[in-house]
A and B are shown apart, each in its own frame.
Chain A
């Protein structure tokens, strides 16, 4: 696989365009307005995002999309991270649009994708439940087959953007066997056509992203609305997790770089002891550490995006590596950003905490850095067994490569 390092001309344009667009259409003052709004959704802004082609960015043109690739998408997400953009972009495109494109029937694709691209349809995924754990065993709300259709009962938690979603993808259990990854089915619900769901806004830390509890009470849904095969929803969920995790890495790196820039500016401006605080080595060295962390975060993030773009076999490992490193680093960046701002960085009116909350929430989603590192460890174990082990005595000299 040939990895494209750096951006081509079109990607540079996309990036500049996205930065300008977000600065004009969703400056921090507007982010804060949307935080106060119960849905965090701005239909006007959404329409403009559709007009510039973002909502169908990675869909083929036949579904009203722009036919761009995952790396392009990740460039957009970096900019959204810099802007702490509120609203259902990730929910709509990553959690629903891309899986429908990959696994949907022709009818499903024709129904939903053009609506997403044009801004008519907002979507979300109802996956997590009470324990908030991203793994198959935690999916327990039931979809029972009765009288020719399924009936869903139970409660989903941490459902983003549920209130404004026109379509909701639901992971429900249709069968319980020894293997928890078996027997999960994904249903695609048109929220305007069904009754029996109730969404309640959760009071959560990152107010730029609204999350809900969604209760399903005898919600009927036809087998036609299954995405993929019955009982076979988990592999799709894993794919959703893979893509969204890569996307969140881009968002975290964007946020982290912005925080570093804001912090460096502050270090140059703020005077204490008669000098700019950026002349204190204690702060200089810490700022340098953030530069180092972000360089490697970006390197892994771009690689992960490329592996997804190329549908490469390394994608799962690349994404786990990227998420683990970006998560650790960006959590540190936002914490240091607050610290180096002193008291002002701790206030509500300063934007530091918005980045802090966004990054910590992103890191947690779909498995945090520690979990991802364990995924890498499992891969190492497999590779070790494949390689046959037993070679270490030969290779010890490699350890001393430096100096």
Chain B
């Protein structure tokens, strides 16, 4: 699609700016603003409400067919919208799994009814989702899923357990691969379902994680019934559908990401916040910014952010030319997650003793969100496939190295 003229884009920019002013939560951006506690119902509802507003304003759902509630926008427009959102920051998308993983999975494997039934309500924030993949003995080795599904007329009766299920406490719907053919070999024995979290037999037991809150839970399936029409893809094809989900998750929703065109405060702004922190933090009489070791580390993150931006664009062009296999997602996934962790480590080192203050202590900077991030990023290199598993994918599937023997 051709670029709009600069006036139209500028008008859009002003529109988004005004919209944000109007719609961001009361007090957003002011030092006194206190975000709802992570993992709380309040946070979840705020995320849903935010998604609803984005949808109504036409600021989400780019590139998704309009019949499923999506919207057509040019790349330049998307860039403007994202830039403005980055500039102010927005509430964390508590309901992000729907747009990030369920929509791409349904677009690829869902039938028309499923797409029409589920995608619009994901985009509008009405329904939030969870992903019941991992089990106690099927984490990295996901193909070892033990949940069973037995056909009973028009329904499947599911039994088993998942663990580490993020967002399941408040989710409306879930996705789950289930062993439907115990006699078939690995990778051919699973079928993939979407299910209603209010179904009898589905139980959620919150698990407290190292951040102190309970974002994820154990989830149990006790003779839970799923209508056959909720199977996504063919019977026995579940492993491949699950891989599509993981691919989308590892890509971090590439399809929704648009580049900005120049370096400007918003892009380098990914690190402007660290520059500010370093300049405002004094250590033994000198600001942290004046310490070349820290300055170099901050500059390195600016470089890496730019690198990621351009790599995403390269991938997008390759995808259009159908030169991607899907395994490439591992590159960005490993790099961005490890970068997140390194950034958080740096912040902890800049803040020194003060990184210890958690949410609730009046001395905690930004209501403890830096400390939260420092702790939360430990999970980044584990969730959606550990960085070891992803390195293996690059080695064996991209480089064609022989299967590893440990």
Residues of A with Cβ closer than 8 Å to B?
A: 1-3, 5-6, 264, 267-268, 275-276, 278-281, 284-285, 287-289, 291-292, 295-300, 302-303, 312-314, 317-318, 321, 324-325, 370, 373-374, 376-377, 379-381, 383-384, 386-387, 389-403
Residues of chain A contacted by B263 (CB below 8 angstroms) = 314, 317-318
Find A285's partner among B88, B318, B372, B388 (CB 8 Å cutoff). Answer: B388
Complex Cα gap A324–B316 (Å): 25
Find B265's partner among A317, A386, A399, A401 (CB 8 Å cutoff). Answer: A386
Residues of chain B contacted by A384 (CB below 8 angstroms) = 272, 275-276, 279
Closest Cβ of chain B to A401, distance in Å, is 8
The reply to whether B86 and A398 contact each other, CB–CB distance below 8 Å, is: yes
Find B276's partner among A281, A292, A324, A389 (CB 8 Å cutoff). Answer: A389
Q: Most chain-A CB neighbours within 10 Å: which of B306, B310, B373? A: B310
The reply to whether A296 and B401 contact each other, CB–CB distance below 8 Å, is: no
The reply to whether A292 and B402 contact each other, CB–CB distance below 8 Å, is: no
**Residues in B130-146 with C-beta less than 8 Å from chain A:** none
Complex Cα gap A387–B265 (Å): 7
The reply to whether B303 and A279 contact each other, CB–CB distance below 8 Å, is: no
CB pairs A–B below 8 angstroms (11 shown): A288-B391, A295-B311, A297-B307, A314-B262, A321-B306, A376-B299, A380-B272, A392-B276, A397-B366, A397-B369, A399-B347
Residues of chain B contacted by A292 (CB below 8 angstroms) = 331, 334-335, 394
Residues of chain A contacted by B271 (CB below 8 angstroms) = 380
In the complex, whether B92 has a CB less than 8 A from a CB of chain A is yes
Q: Which of B48-56, B192-200, B236-244, B375-383 contacts A (4 or more CB under 8 A)?
A: B375-383
> A292-B335, A377-B299, A391-B276 provided; 13 other pairs, C-beta below 8 A?
A2-B261, A278-B401, A279-B401, A284-B399, A287-B399, A314-B262, A317-B263, A321-B302, A374-B295, A384-B276, A384-B279, A396-B370, A398-B273
Residues of chain A contacted by B321 (CB below 8 angstroms) = 6
Interface string of B355-394 (1 = CB under 8 A from A): 0000000000110011011001101100100001011101
Find B30's partner among A296, A379, A394, A401 (CB 8 Å cutoff). Answer: A394
Complex Cα gap A2–B302 (Å): 21
**Residues in B253-300 with C-beta less than 8 Å from chain A:** 261-265, 268-273, 275-277, 279-280, 289, 292, 295-296, 298-300
Closest to A303 in B: B310
Closest Cβ of chain A to B224, distance in Å, is 27
The reply to whether A6 and B302 contact each other, CB–CB distance below 8 Å, is: no
Known: A268-B400, A284-B396. A397 touches B89 (CB 8 A): yes
In the complex, whether B337 has a CB less than 8 A from a CB of chain A is yes
In the complex, whether B304 has a CB less than 8 A from a CB of chain A is yes
In the complex, whether B35 has a CB less than 8 A from a CB of chain A is yes
Known: A280-B404, A295-B311. A402 touches B89 (CB 8 A): no
Residues of B with Cβ closer than 8 Å to A?
A: 29-31, 35, 86, 88-89, 91-92, 166, 215, 252, 261-265, 268-273, 275-277, 279-280, 289, 292, 295-296, 298-300, 302-304, 306-308, 310-311, 313-314, 316-318, 321, 330-331, 334-337, 340, 343-344, 347, 365-366, 369-370, 372-373, 376-377, 379-380, 383, 388, 390-392, 394-396, 398-406
Complex Cα gap A82–B401 (Å): 22
Complex Cα gap A171–B203 (Å): 77
6 pairs of A and B residues whose beta carbons are closest in the complex? A284-B395, A299-B310, A296-B307, A396-B366, A288-B394, A278-B401
Complex Cα gap A304–B268 (Å): 16
The reply to whether B303 and A264 contact each other, CB–CB distance below 8 Å, is: no
Complex Cα gap A370–B347 (Å): 21
Q: Most chain-B CB neighbours within 10 Å: which of A318, A389, A402? A: A402
Main secondary structure of the interface of A (DSSP, over half): helix
Closest to A312 in B: B262
Residues of chain B contacted by A297 (CB below 8 angstroms) = 307
Residues of chain A contacted by B29 (CB below 8 angstroms) = 394
The reply to whether B314 and A299 contact each other, CB–CB distance below 8 Å, is: yes
The reply to whether B296 and A264 contact each other, CB–CB distance below 8 Å, is: no
Find B380's partner among A264, A275, A403 (CB 8 Å cutoff). Answer: A403
The reply to whether A279 and B302 contact each other, CB–CB distance below 8 Å, is: no
Complex Cα gap A44–B321 (Å): 40
The reply to whether A1 and B337 contact each other, CB–CB distance below 8 Å, is: no
Known: A280-B405, A291-B331, A380-B275. A374 touches B314 (CB 8 A): no
Complex Cα gap A314–B260 (Å): 13
Closest to B93 in A: A401
Closest Cβ of chain A to B400, distance in Å, is 7
Closest to B300 in A: A373
Known: A292-B394, A392-B277. A400 touches B303 (CB 8 A): no
The reply to whether B406 and A1 contact each other, CB–CB distance below 8 Å, is: no
Residues of chain A contacted by B264 (CB below 8 angstroms) = 383
The reply to whether A284 and B392 contact each other, CB–CB distance below 8 Å, is: yes
Residues of chain A contacted by B317 (CB below 8 angstroms) = 5-6
Known: A288-B391, A394-B89. A5 touches B275 (CB 8 A): no
Residues of chain A contacted by B30 (CB below 8 angstroms) = 394
The reply to whether B395 and A392 contact each other, CB–CB distance below 8 Å, is: no
The reply to whether B296 and A377 contact each other, CB–CB distance below 8 Å, is: yes
Find A403's partner among B316, B376, B399 (CB 8 Å cutoff). Answer: B376
Closest Cβ of chain A to B90, distance in Å, is 8
Known: A295-B311, A299-B311, A303-B310. A324 touches B370 (CB 8 A): no
Complex Cα gap A397–B299 (Å): 20
The reply to whether A402 and B377 contact each other, CB–CB distance below 8 Å, is: yes
The reply to whether B310 and A287 contact each other, CB–CB distance below 8 Å, is: no
Known: A1-B262, A6-B321, A284-B401. A397 touches B92 (CB 8 A): yes
Closest Cβ of chain B to A269, distance in Å, is 11
The reply to whether A402 and B337 contact each other, CB–CB distance below 8 Å, is: yes
